[in-house]
Amino acid sequence: MVPGNKEENIYMIFCDENRKDRKNKQEQRKDQYKDYKEDLENKIRTIEGYDIKEAMKNQRRDWINKERSENRGEPPLNIDLFYKRLDVEKKVELNDAQKKALEEQAKEKLKKEQDKKKNEEKGNQIQCIKKYY
C-alpha cells in the first residue's frame, strides 16, 4: 500500500493510466508512419523506377563508351571501376580553411557533449540529495 490520502493515490493511478494511454498512441502513430513510409516508397518505385533505371543504364553506357575511347576501342574488363569512381569523386581534397572549420565543429560538438554530461551528473546529484533528506 502507498502511504498518503486517497486523493494522492487516485492522482497517481490517473497519471499511470494517462501515461499508458499516451504510450499506446505513440506506438500506433509510429506504426502508421512506418506503413505510410513503405507505401510512399512503393509508389515511388512504381512511378519513377523505370526512369531511374534508364538513367543509370545511360550513365553506365556513357562511362563504357568513354573507357573504350581511352583504351583503343576495348571495353573495360572490370565494371566495378564504374561504381568505385563515384567513391573517388566524393573524396575531394579539402583546403586548409575547410579542414580548420571541420576541426572547430568537432571541438564544439565534443565540448557540448561534455557539458551535457556534467549537467546530467549535477542533476542526478541534486535529485539524490533531495531524495534522501
Encode pLDDT of 12-67 as tens digits. 888 999 999 999 999 999 999 999 999 999 999 899 989 989 999 999 999 899 88
Residues 115 and 72 in one domain: no
DSSP state of 79: T
Same structural domain for residues 45 and 103? no
Instruction: Decide: 49 and 60 in contact? Cβ < 8 Å.
Output: no
Could you give the CA distance from residue 10 to residue 105 in angstroms, rounded to a whole number? 50
- Same domain as 21, residue 61: yes
Q: Do 63 and 9 share a structural domain?
A: yes
Query: What is the domain range of residue 105?
Result: 94-133
Cβ 58 vs Cβ 50: under 8 Å: no
27 and 63 in one domain?
Answer: yes
Residues 24, 85, single domain; the answer is yes
Please give the tally of structural domains in the chain.
Answer: 2
53 and 98 assigned to the same domain: no
Cell (9 digits) for 44: 515511388
Assess whether 104 and 70 both reside in one domain.
Answer: no
pLDDT, tens only, 55-103: 999 999 998 998 888 888 788 888 888 888 776 655 556 667 777 888 8
Longest alpha-carbon distance in the chain = 92
